């Protein structure tokens, strides 16, 4: 079960592909954002989803909505993935799954991240959630629809 709309998003600090530690409350302070969790770099569904976010990045940027992706992959793997697919946003490594757990983004028993996307407002209150393991493109479509609705 995903976190609920209207709930304050949990703060977290994770290593980022920019070489720094990223903290939600300071990295995206006063900024709306999309946080998307995904199972694994270089898999077909995750690659398609990342590329969709890449292709829609300018539209989100024009609306002042930042994007960050999170999986349990290490930074070295994230850096290769980001470079190969020319991703204009940072990827964060949650190797222990603590942040994935806080966002209810882990598949029980196997502890692999679910494909789940959260849209947060500038106060980091959850405004939309989309959860579908097999439809990466649907996450982007849903977030665009929610943003356009206001």
CB 56 within 8 A of CB 147: no
Q: Catalytic residue at 51? A: no
Structure-token pair, residue 93: 């490594």
Q: Check 33, 46, 51, 100 and give the catalytic one.
A: 46
Residue 61 is given by DSSP the state H
Phi-psi region of 6 (alpha: psi -120 to 50; beta: other; left: phi over 0): left
Backbone angles phi, psi at 54, to 5 degrees: -60, -45
Listed in sequence order, the residues at least 6 apart from 33 whose beta carbon sits closer than 8 Å to its beta carbon are: 24, 65, 66, 67, 68, 119, 120, 124
Query: Distance between CA 135 and CA 115 in Å, rounded?
Result: 8
User: DSSP secondary-structure letter at 108?
Assistant: T
Question: Hey, which residues are catalytic here?
Answer: 46
């Amino acid at each position: 079960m995903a976190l609920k709309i209207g709930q304050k998003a949990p703060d977290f600090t994770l290593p980022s592909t920019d070489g720094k530690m990223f903290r939600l409350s300071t990295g995206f302070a006063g900024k709306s954002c999309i946080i998307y969790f995904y199972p694994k770099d270089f898999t077909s569904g995750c690659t398609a989803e990342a590329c969709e976010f890449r292709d829609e990045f300018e539209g989100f940027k024009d609306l002042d909505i930042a994007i960050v992706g999170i999986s349990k992959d290490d930074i070295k793997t994230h850096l290769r993935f980001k470079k190969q697919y020319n991703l204009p946003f940072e990827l964060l490594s949650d190797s222990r799954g603590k942040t994935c757990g806080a966002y209810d983004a882990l598949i029980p028993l196997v502890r692999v991240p679910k494909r789940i996307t959260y849209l947060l407002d500038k106060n980091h209150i959850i405004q939309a959630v989309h959860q579908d393991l097999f439809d990466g493109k649907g996450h982007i479509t849903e977030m665009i629809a929610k943003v356009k609705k206001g």
